[in-house]
Structures are given as C-alpha cells and as structure tokens.
Structure 1
Amino acid sequence: MTRSRLAAASLSAAALGLAAVLVPTASLAEPIAETPAASAQVIWADAPEDFVFTPLNQGQIELADEWRWTAPLDSPTSSLADYGTFDENGFTANDSALVVFVHGVSAPIPGSEFEAFIENSETNAGAQVLTGVFYAEPGDESIALVAQTVDGFHGADTQWYKSGNVPLTTAELAVSLDENGEQVVGYFVIFPGQPTELPEPPAEPEEPPTEEPNVELLAAPEAADDATTFEDLLTAQNTDVALRAAAPAAAGIASFRVGDLTTYFTPQPTAALALSSASITVAQATTTGFTVTGSGFAPGETVTTGIGTGQMGDSLPNTFVADADGNVSGTIVLPSGWSAAGEYSIALIGASSGQFASSALVITGTAPVAVPVPGEATYTG
C-alpha cells in the first residue's frame, strides 16, 4: 500500500484530552434509504498490520496520511492485537484498553472547504467511541487542537464541540475555522476503555422534566498546568455511556467515511465474477451480449469492465454501480466492430476500491462480413 506522509505534522496528542467530553446519546439520524455513492477511495483496514504504531513522544504523536494508532494509558507495544480485535463487526477495543486511531489528510482543509469535506461523512461506531477532527492554528502548524463530534459524523448534520460546551453546526464550525485562519489536518477515533471500577457519581438534585432533552457533559478536568500530561487529561473521562442503536459494539467501529476516503474495519471481501455462459459466438457477443454477476465490491462504487488476453487488456464502455451489499449485475455487449475469436478474460474493477475479479470467456466464430454485389455503377452530375 502506498502511503503519503503529511509534511511536518507533529501533533499534540494532549489535545485529545478534551476539556469537556459529551456523553453520546441515541442517534437521531434517519436511516439511509438508498446506497450512497462510494467515496473516491475505499480501503479496508481490517488487521493490526494495516495500522502504523506511533508511540507518544512527550505527549505528541506524528500525523500522516495513513492510519496510525497509539495507546496512551498503557505501556505501549507494537501490536494492536493487544488492545482489541477485528472481526465481521469491525474493530472492537478491549474493555479496559484505551486506544486511539489517527489519520492525516493529504492536504490541509481550510475553513472555506470544510463543509464540502464533511458533506458525505459518516461513522458506523459504538456509543463509547469518540470522533472528531484535528485543526491547526496559523503560524503554529506543528500543534493541533481538536473539534469533537457530538454523536459521530453525519454529513452536513454533524454537530461539534470546538471550545466550550455549546454545540456548533458544521456551518458554524466552518465559519469559525475560516475566521481564525485554521485548517483541518486530520481526524481521530478514540476508544476510551472502561476502568475496572467506575467512581460513584455525586448525588444531584432532581430537576423537573423539560420538553427539550438536556445534553449532559462530563465534568471537565481542572485547569491544566505545565505538568499535566495526556494521560492525566484522558483519565478525567468517565465513560459511563448509553449504547447507540444499530451500531457495532459500544467500543467498536465498523466504518468511517470522511472527505475522499472511506475506511472499512470489517474483513476485506474477495471480489468474484460469474458469466452467464463460458462460451459465446462473435455474433452473440456483439448483439445480445452476455450477463455478468459480481460481488465483493464496495457499496455504492462504480465498477468498470474490461476484456483481455494474458497480460494485455482493453477497457469496455459498460459500467455498473454496486448495491448496498457490494454486488453488481448486468449485460455486457462488445463493440459492433469486434470480430476476433479466441480465449479471453472478462474483468470487473472497483473504481474506488481497486477490487478486481475476472472470469474466462471463449468467443467463437467470426463476425459477418459485408460482400459487395457485382454490377455497374452509374454516376450523374
């Protein structure tokens, strides 16, 4: 896998401490009725080796255009497998482990482009999982702050905490970034873990119910001094939270879409292709064509087609769009000028994921050839 690095981005992991951490509530997002188009790039990060371990260096972690991880509250090791598991539900962190995933962007996103960057974003994650973006202030790009999502990424409807306890809409956050000359340089996923014994919350007087639900925030840590560490800040996060409906395990994530990248933390499928017939005549191939059925592609991605012999091949004009399960089906008709019989391979290629599948096809016979009729030609004029 090619990995491009974000230049000079040693980002302050202490920013992940978040002075106030939202207790996630049940998601109010409407279910998706149609399969959305896939992002420009789709990847599967479904095993520990798909992540680069980056130890904290005095509370800082380097950000790059790739998935990295660290475990700030535990003795760092080089194995993500010590902190969680990957399966059909995605990545699930151990109950007692705190682990952080970070990912940089290929180029900083200014406030004026932030809404477009977030427009189609989406996270499928459990209620204990915290997500957000890193942003850098002008003149000090080596240190990043964070804006945390209220309840995961939900496209233009995503709500944020940038500073203070008042949620911001995506539009309001974009304005704030733009006015301050700040740029988004990456995003994060935090699995807070669970302490062995949660402290008893202090007794609070009961309040009369209100028509609007109250958003409760966890108590912010006391003002940090020079000795405050990333660990101190994260320890202040009590993670006694409610489960969100229709999501992976509370401390898990199945997928994350933001900008031009969608990451699936579930097992990468194996693309497959089946043809309606293993043999077809040239006349059939160029008129009625043949049916293809494919699977193992990214939901919503465009799937292109090709035909080839050995290592050589040509693209075909037929394209399909994968459904919510990554399946495609349709008919391929070869160009009318096709006349070469032989043994070929028909291929399906995922435009976003690069998933590839092929199947053998034998084309027999020759195309009809127009025969001139003898006779005299008459010209006038």
Structure 2
Amino acid sequence: MLNLNGRIAYDEDHMIFRDSVRKFIDRNVLPNLARWEQEGIVDRDYWLEFGAAGFLCPTVPEDLGGLGLDYRYHAIVSEEMAYVGCHAGTALQSGVVVDYLVKYGSDEQKKMWIPKMITGEVITAIAMTEPGAGSDLQGIRTTARRDGDHYVINGAKTYITNGQHADLVIVVAKTDPEAGAKGTSLILVEGTREGFRRGKNLDKIGQHAADTSELFFDDVRVPVTNCLGDENRGFAYLMGQLPQERLGIAVAGQAAAQRAYDEGIAFAKDRKAFGKRVVDFQNSRFVLANMAAKLQVGWAHIDWAILRHVRGELTAAEGAMAKLWHTETQWEILDASLQLHGGAGYMNEYPIARMWRDGRVQRIYGGTSEIMKEIIGRGL
C-alpha cells in the first residue's frame, strides 16, 4: 500500500476517494489479475464495474454527466492501479481519450459518447502510432479523403491500447497529405464501420492484461461530422493534450517505482546469505538508500507537477521532463530491486519479475525518452 505521509497534492476528500479505490482494487482487481495476465485481456464486465464505482472519467464536467472532479482524482486511480500492477487500459480512457471529446467534441459527439464512456459501456482507443511512425506523429501515412459528406479512411495503426475492445477509436489521419502536420485531423471511427478490422492481440514483453492491437482501415467511410474539432487542426490538438498524457505516465511510473522498492526491501529483510540478512550487507543498504532518496525526490516532484497541472500551468516541456525523469527512475529502481532479489527476481512467481517486464515500455510509449530530451532541449 502506498505511504501517503508528506504528500502535498491531496486533501481529506482525496483520501476518502483513495480509500474507495483501494477497496475496489482488493475486491475486483487482485482476484482477477493473474487470469487477465494469462488471457491477455480484461473482461468487459470489469469496465462496467469500474464505471459503476465512479472511477472512469472522473474529471468530466457535471453538465456532461460526469462527477466534475479535478485531475487529482484521476491521478489517485492511476497511482493505486500502477502500484498493484494492473494495466487495464482504463487510464487511457479516463486520462487521455475523454479529454479530446470534452475539449474538441461537438455537442452531438459529447452526448453520444461521453455518458457511455463514464459507465464503461463504451471502450475507447486513440490510434496514433503506425508501422512507420511512432514518436514522430508528423510521419503518419493514414489518410482520410473527402468524398462528398464522408471521409474515406485508409491506413494501418499498431500498438493500440484497448484495440481489441474499442467501440470507438480516435484515428489520427491526414486530411491534407500535402500540408504536413497542418493537414492532420482527428476522426472518430466506430468499431462497427465496414472496412474497419482488428488485427491480433499483440504478444508483448509485459503488460499482458492490456490488450494491444493492430488496426486496419480499408476504405472506411465515416460522415464528416465524425471529425473531432476542426479539420486539419489535429496535430495542434495532439500537442495540446500530450502534457497530460505524459504526466499520467509519470504518475504511474512513480507509483510503480515505489512498489519496486517496497518489494526489494521486504525481500532483503527476509532473505539470508552467508548467515545474515541481505539487508545487513552494506552494499544492499546503499542500494536501498539510493532508491529511497530518489523516491523522496520523486514524490515531491510528482505532487508539484500534479498541482501545476490542476492550475493549468504545466507546460509541454515540464510534462516531458516529468515523463523522462520518472520513467527513467522507475526503470533504475525496478532493475536494482530485481538485482536485490538475486535469482528469485528472474522467477515469475515473484511480483518484481512482472513489474520489471511491465515497466520497460514506460520509457517508450507517450514519446520515447530520447524524444523527451529533444522536446526539453528545444526550449533551452
């Protein structure tokens, strides 16, 4: 369980909410997590349970059917889920996709989709990455050609979280291929559209419970009213939302790093070597001390970043810095904790093994660490 002593981002109301999240996890997540990992997907019924508990899209304004809570409530859910190692795809819906609908959707789009996203009846995805375009979103090749009052979409996307379950996909496509980034639009594509098909559930190193898919668009026709926001403004919308997405990854990274430390110190106190506990060796204590110091810094920084975001002050560079530092630190602590476990750390029966596998992608998705450095460096 996360130790909340000294946290400055949360008040008593947040603590009450966090307690309800923890009870839900104990009741609905932990008994199913191993099965989800084996099956490579989370039950759709779980999404309905998650929504009924009030944990899906908690920041949606009340006039759109939401709870109207601030970002900290979503961060609480992300922290607690990351700490137990659940990668169900709900964070994508709550912390990424729904904000595109709230900020850029038409009244009709909002009324049609947001209420069902809150309840879990509708599961969503956002399709950015392609076989030939990852962190560089300007390189996408999927097109949405105007044909009267419809778009005709052709292309392929890959590594799409919630791809198997998604009822609605925000597709990043070129509506003006000659205009580069300025010709990019966001198009809503329903999972029932003719010509839309899902590839296999991809076999990943980690995060096995999170379904991740290839998506294919073969002359998929959607009405032009499915354009999210203004045509050819998609790239600007993506850039405007990425700081929150990257903060969300940083929040999860910090919580997972804390769990890795907790697993490492518990094992070091229990395991004996050469007649004494592993924790009694100076090297072990130094390794753990280094972890503890970085976690102290990390919690102070993540609270600072969360509060800045709540005030609307978090910049793109600051979001990139948060993702870079917290995911790199997460990996360092994961790897050090696994090393403290010795051979046991390489065994799947120990939580650190799965956490280590799950954590590797944190330095890749949402923009690689190298791209984060580019973003930060451009503003120096």
Q: TM-score, normalised by structure 1?
A: 0.27
Which structure shows the bigger proportion of residues in helix conformation?
2
Higher strand fraction (1 or 2):
1
The structure showing larger relative contact order (alpha-carbon pairs under 8 Å, at least 6 residues apart) is 1
TM-score relative to the length of structure 2: 0.27
